[in-house]
Amino acid sequence: MDIRVGELRNKEVIALLQEHHKDMLSHSPVESVHALDLNALEAPDITFWSFWINNKLAGVGALKEIDAEHGEIKSMRTSTNHLRQGVAGKLLEHIIKQANIRSYKRLSLETGTMDVFLPAHKLYQLFGFQECEPFGDYKEDPYSMFMTKSIL
């Protein structure tokens, strides 16, 4: 697996992020969708990675710095052609490793609550994430589940 920082303007990455956003909108009302667009993912407090297998996009993920001790996982998505092949776990391992390198004490995320998100819930739980209260600028929302993990 080839892990690349950035690649946000790569057409395959753009297509996967558009698919991600469209999918989120099909399961949640627009005010409950927290997926970031390309410009937001280029912000200086966000590091974006694209993951490639044999030069084919396998997935994407990002890490946003909330503060010096707290990071947030953003834009985790596996491409359709690489589902159920361990890509999401590798993405998550990489992001957790980067959070450790940055000396974050906590890593959090927001995901959906509908059944379609159950595989994501199970993955995050497998990596030690637990449900928590909204963090950062998030508010209680029936379409959002918040999860966190202490690290280091």
The CATH number for 2-150, chosen from 3.30.70.1400, 3.30.930.10, 3.40.630.30, 3.40.50.970, is 3.40.630.30
Residue by residue, pLDDT tens for the chain (152 residues) are 789 998 889 999 999 988 887 877 667 777 777 877 888 899 999 999 999 999 999 999 999 999 999 999 999 989 888 888 889 999 999 999 999 999 999 999 999 998 989 999 999 999 999 999 999 999 999 999 999 999 97
- Among 102, 89, 22, 18, CA closest to 63: 102
The reported pTM is 0.91
List the chain domain ranges: 2-150
Cα separation, 17 vs 9, in Å, equals 11
Cα separation, 30 vs 42, in Å, equals 21
In the three-class reduction of DSSP (H, G, I as helix; E, B as strand; rest coil), residue 140 is classed as coil
